[in-house]
Amino acid sequence: MDRCMSTASSTPIRKVSDGVSDQFPAGLRVLVVDDDPTCLKILEKMLRNCLYEVTTCSQAEVALSMLRESRTGFDIVLSDVHMPDMNGFKLLEQIGLEMDLPVIMMSADDGKDVVMKGVTHGACDYLIKPVRIEAIKNLWQHVVRKRRNELKEFEQSGSVEDGDRLQKASDELDYSSSVNEGSWKSSKKRKDDEDEGEERDDTSALKKPRVVWSVELHQQFVAAVNQLGIDKAVPKKILELMNVPGLTRENVASHLQKYRLYLRRLSGVSQHQGGVNTPFMSPQEASFRSISSFDGLDIQAFAASGQLPPQSLASLQAGLGRTTTSTGVAMPIVDQRNIFSSEISKLRFGSVQQLSNSGKQVSLLPGLPTSMEPKQLPHPHQSVQSFGSIGLQASEGTSTFLNMPTSLRTTLSTQMHGVHGNRSSPSMMQMSQTQSRNQSLNEMVGGHASGIPSTIGQQIFSNECSGQVLDRDRTTINGRSAACNPVSQVSSVVDFSMNHMTELPGNGFPLASATEVSNLTSRGMFQEGRKMGLKGSRGFAPSYDIFNELHQPKTQDWELQNVGLNFEASQHLNSIIQSNTNHAPSIMGGQGFSSSLKNGQNINMLVYGNAVVSAGEANEHGNTENSAQRPNIHLVNTSFRVKSEEIPDLSCEKLLIPDHFGQDDLMSALLKQQQGVGPVESEYNFDGYTMDNISV
Amino acid sequence: MDVNQMERRLVDYTASLFREGLLDDQFTQLQQLQDESNPDFVVEVVSVFFEDSERLLNDLGRTLDQQIVDFKKVHDHVHQLKGSSSSIGAQRVKNGCIAFRNFCEEHNIEGCLKCLQQVKQEYFLVKNKLESLFRLEQQILAAGGSIPMME
């Protein structure tokens, strides 16, 4: 029977991202999927008796759509192995890839090979039926464990496996275009099995925690793929080329699959709208590479990944001359961590690139196709981590980007995931340019809780920002709070009309942790770092609730509530940012914004496209000391990690990106800004944002 | 008989079901799950089980009756029946399913048919017994008594 009902338990303690219910584990939101009605009923009762909030489903497809609809609506999933419409392992994989929730498998089959399959596919546990209530009672441990692991990974900085890399929502600039639509997230919708198959069995029995495809990582990936040629790119070779410790072929395979889908999707979108030289590489391919002509705001392209509304995108394009943005982008960035923020790379901010020394990908600047230089992120330190496609380098403190003259504020929509959509990122960038108004460097993204794949929604920020694409200035990364939205809320963000951006003080910065992010806020357009609307993180997976509770300090100001916040977020951001001092970018798993933004940290979110660069996130891990966060404009996708370092109140101004950005200018402008910023800057002296160095 | 007698009878009856292996500890778990918020829980679940099982048994019969037997389907049905019977504690049904599955893996039609018969028998037996049990419970409740908790 397919009965999907949401049963509210008697104690619907909803864990909000900002805090964990103290009745935890009561109120844990469980989704049970089993085609056997008897078992379903029994499990439901057991779960209710444990005071969990239960939703039952007898069909895997329905369950998936429920999950997609509300990425943060559940904390854990219980699924049967044998189901008529979809294999339980496949569901498991999908959930892991798309939502990264803990999944427990169940079966009457206790054969060793089946159990092994569960392990290799990433199940958190495997229960043999008949399931006893004792097993149910302890379900919450998986949720906590996962969050802790993610956090830990995040803190470990920049490890690839960072679970929470903040997806940098590259709020790209107005490129709502394809970036959005391309958003990875949407691509996640596909249900097909991974073509690549990479057999999970193939991986070591020890299944690693899900890899968060940070911007940087993604860029590396894309670079590798491009190098091999999209047709010839096989996971094994890609893995070799990428040479990332800890990354498995399986990870690459699944990512590749997604990427392919993403590309397909992008190609279907009219991405380049204008003939702009999309610095960002037009959807896929070329764009990835070409960081070249980043017009000023390649970031926009990235922003586009966010979800720039088509029109803004168009405007951006017009402004930028770049087309690449897939206008469709306005989509809410699925929170996937679209790493493909290659678009972000597109963000070439010419200058930004330079800023980022390390190859961190997010080179917001010169349209570096992140893919190209995987490491190129503009900011050297930026821990690009998890920047998915984010062009945003939310370097904390890096307000450099933000400092871009307001004009720039191209709101890069930090789409974190959306960056995928980055295709449009070029356009996004453009958009951002136009948006420039937005100035808001939407750093937004910074907030994302690391790894907020879901937050990606945020990306959209910037797009909205005044259509004026930052062309001149820099695309302000729209921190659209969209970025904050941990989950797909992005779409809402997208709607930010650029106008919003301006207004939002920081709006849109998805920077969740705006706290530090403060940088983003550019006045009006720029979201002053603080403003980072990153409230997005809120949406982040509920799981974060726990997360939050675990890492309270960090998230505190997350306000990143889903993008929807967008502006409210921004406002909050301000407050948050300011108040946030700590923020360890709590990697909020999905939270889009790593709260790591420490106060004052300027989140230089040059979020390209999706990546919300979490500037400063990097700091969280360990790097904290680095005040050196460079405000690199790290357009990191999605994973915008805001450095948790405490940034001495960088005035947002600093973040503003100088208007005269041209690509080259941008960088220099940023650099100047940095210098000009004064002591504060020095702290963050990162080009874009200080990101933890994502050492890939 | 009076309420006390009925209650005692219920206890004995239930105990015998356990003793004979018709029911196992999982059934007890179900009983323990029942509470005031859901006083008919056990009856409801068991009803769902009955419905579902009969459907499966019919499907099994049909599948095994085909010219070309689709053993994968047979396997899936048996697997599900095994899962649900084990979940409610119908031990003998579950055991029957295990044997059934083995024949199925061997693609032994004869063996499967025999097992199907066996499983059906066990199923109807436990169904019968449970229905009697529930009836007895109803009578007790109607008479103002209370259902004694097992174990």
Query: What string of H, E and C letters represents the secondary structure of A11-55?
Result: CCCCCECCECCCCCCCCCEEEEECCCHHHHHHHHHHHHHCCCEEE
Mean local confidence (pLDDT), A613-619: 38
Give percent above pLDDT 70 in chain A. 27
User: Which tens digits make up the pLDDT trace of A485-495?
Assistant: 333 333 333 33
**Beta-sheet strands, E only, within A607-691:** 614-616, 630-631, 636-638, 640-643, 686-687
Assign residue A147 a region (left: φ > 0; alpha: ψ between -120 and 50; beta: otherwise). alpha
With an 8 Å Cβ cutoff, is A49 touching chain B? yes
Average pLDDT on A516-530 reads 38
Residue B56 has pLDDT above 80, yes or no: yes
Instruction: Please indicate whether residue A361 or residue A131 has the higher confidence score (pLDDT).
Output: A131
Q: What is the mean pLDDT of residues A32-51?
A: 93
pLDDT higher at A366 or B141 = B141
**B26 → closest Cβ in A41, A109, A130:** A130
pLDDT value, residue A672: 53
pLDDT for residue A101: 86
- pLDDT of B90 over the 70 cut: yes
Asked if residue B133 is part of any domain, the answer here is yes
Report the pLDDT value the prediction gives residue A215, as an integer from 0 to 100: 75
Q: What is the pLDDT of residue A26?
A: 85
Q: Which residue of B has its CA nearest to A128?
A: B83
Tell me how far apart the alpha carbons of residues A559 and A557 are, in angstroms, rounded to a whole number.
5
**Any B CB within 8 A of A78 CB:** no
Predicted confidence (pLDDT) per residue in A148-172, tens digit: 888 887 777 554 444 444 444 434 3
For tokens 């995987």, the residue is A374
State chain A's mean pLDDT as an integer. 53
Higher pLDDT, A199 or B144: B144
pLDDT bracket for residue A274 (50, 70, 90): very low
Q: Is residue A95's pLDDT more than 90? A: no
- Measured CA to CA, the distance from residue A271 to residue A420 in angstroms comes to 12
Chain B residues closer than 8 Å to A37 by CB: 48, 51-52, 84
Q: Which residues in chain A are contacts of B45 at CB distance < 8 A?
A: 38, 41-42, 45
Helix (H, G, I), strand (E, B) or coil at A171: strand
Residue A511 has a pLDDT of: 37
Please give the structure tokens belonging to residue A556.
Answer: 């505190």
CA distances from B78 to B48, B81, B111, B146 (A): 17, 5, 13, 37
The C-alpha atoms of residue A331 and residue A210 are separated, in whole angstroms, by 24
DSSP-based helix, strand, coil % in chain A, nearest 5? 40, 10, 50
Mean pLDDT of A190-195: 42
**A424 Cα distance to chain centroid:** 16
Res. B46: pLDDT tops 60: yes
Whether the per-residue pLDDT at A678 is higher than 90: the answer is no
Inside any domain, residue B104: yes
Residue B151, in any domain of the structure: no
Lowest mean pLDDT among A177-186, A251-260, B104-113: A177-186
Q: What is the per-residue burial (b if ≥16 Cβ within 10 Å, else e) of A207-217?
A: bbbbbbbbbbb
CA B9, distance to chain mean position in Å, is: 21
Longest dimension (CA), chain A: 68
Which among A636, A446, A456 is positioned nearest to A558, based on CA atoms?
A446
- With a CB cutoff of 8 Å and minimum separation 6, the contacts of A355 are A365, A378, A379, A400, A630, A631, A632, A633, A667, A670, A671, A686, A687, A688
Report CB contact under 8 Å: B88, A42: yes
Candidate from B29, B41, B87 with C-beta closest to A38: B87
Residue A154 confidence (pLDDT): 73
Q: For the residues of A513-567, what is the DSSP string, one character each?
A: THHHHBBT--STTSPPBTT--GGGGGGS-THHHHHHHHTHHHHGGG----GGGHH
**Alpha carbon distances (Å) from B88 to A126, A437, A570, B101, B117:** 20, 64, 53, 19, 21
Q: How far apart are CA A38 and CA A515, in angstroms?
A: 49
H or E element, residue A105: strand A103-107
Residue A578 structure tokens = 């300011």
Size of interface A-B (CB pairs under 8 A): 63
CATH number at residue B11: 1.20.120.160
Helix (H) or strand (E) holding B147: none
Q: Provide, rounded to the nearest whole percent, the portion of chain A with pLDDT above 90.
A: 7
Nearest alpha carbon to residue A98 among A74, A125, A127? A74
Residue A312 has pLDDT above 70, yes or no: no
pLDDT of residue A472: 42
Domain presence at residue B148: no
Q: Which residue has the higher pLDDT, A337 or A121?
A: A121
Choice between A456 and B99, residue whose per-residue pLDDT is larger? B99
For residue A126, what pLDDT is reported?
93
Task: Determine, yes or no, domain membership for B63.
Answer: yes
User: Are the C-beta atoms of residues A362 and A379 closer than 8 Å to each other?
Assistant: yes
Domain hosting B36: range is 3-142
Q: Are strands A29-33 and A53-57 parallel, antiparallel or unpaired?
A: parallel
Average pLDDT, stretch A649-661? 42
Question: Predicted confidence band at A22 (pLDDT cuts at 50, 70, 90)?
Answer: low
How many domains in chain B? Answer: 1
Residues in chain B: 151
**Nearest residue on chain A to B42, alpha-carbon basis:** A42
The DSSP bridge partners found for residue A165 are: A451
CB A137 within 8 A of CB A50: yes
The model's pTM: 0.43
Q: Are A170 and A608 in contact (CB under 8 A)?
A: yes
Name the band, by pLDDT with cuts 50, 70 and 90, for residue B17.
very high
- Name the one residue in this structure whose structure tokens are 């996004």: A428
Is the predicted pLDDT of residue A229 greater than 70, yes or no? yes
Q: Are A389 and A305 in contact (CB under 8 A)?
A: yes
Distance, in Å, from the CA atom of A143 to the CA atom of A545, rounded to the nearest integer, reads: 10
Flag whether B36 is in a domain. Answer: yes
Report which secondary-structure segment, H or E, holds B104: helix B91-105
Q: Cα dist. A7→A11, A43, A334, B39 in Å?
A: 11, 12, 26, 18
A492's tokens: 């809402």
Query: In angstroms, rounded to a whole number, what is the distance separating the alpha carbons of residues A555 and A484?
Result: 12
Most confident of A256-265, A564-573, A590-599, B25-34: B25-34
Q: Taking 70 as the threshold, does the pLDDT of residue A358 lie above it?
A: no
State residue A494's pLDDT score. 36
CA torsion sign for A575, A580, A581, A585 is negative
Distance CA A255, CA A646 (A): 34
Q: Is residue B23 part of a domain?
A: yes
Span A256-262, mean pLDDT?
A: 82
Residue B40, chain A, CB below 8 Å: the answer is no
For B73-86, the pLDDT digits (tens) are 999 999 999 999 99
How far B5 CA sits from the closest chain A CA (Å)?
31
Distance CA B123, CA B91 (A): 10
The angle that helices B109-142 and B91-105 make with each other, rounded to 10 degrees, is: 170
Name the pLDDT band for A665 (thresholds 50, 70, 90): low
Chain A interface mutation, best of B75, B78, B84, highest count of A Cβ atoms under 10 Å: B84
CA distance A459 to A637: 9
Q: Given CB atoms, is B38 within the 8 Å cutoff of chain A?
A: yes
Alpha carbons A468 and A2: distance in angstroms, whole number: 49
Residue B147 forms part of a structural domain: no
Which sign does the torsion angle of CA A148, A153, A157, A161 carry?
Answer: negative
Give the pLDDT score at B150.
59
Mean pLDDT of B89-106: 93
How far apart, in whole angstroms, are the C-alpha atoms of residue A579 and residue A572? 10
Nearest-5° angle of CA A603, CA A146, CA A568?
A: 35
Query: Which range is least confidently modeled, A42-56, A178-192, A304-318, A526-540?
Result: A526-540
pLDDT higher than threshold 90 for residue B117: yes
Indicate the SS3 state at residue A293.
coil
Give residue A99's pLDDT: 79
- B98: pLDDT strictly greater than 70: yes
CA distance B108 to chain A (A): 20
pLDDT per residue over A211-220, tens digit each? 677 777 888 8
Contact assignment for A39 to B35 by CB distance below 8 Å:
no
Assigned token pair, B45: 């679940």
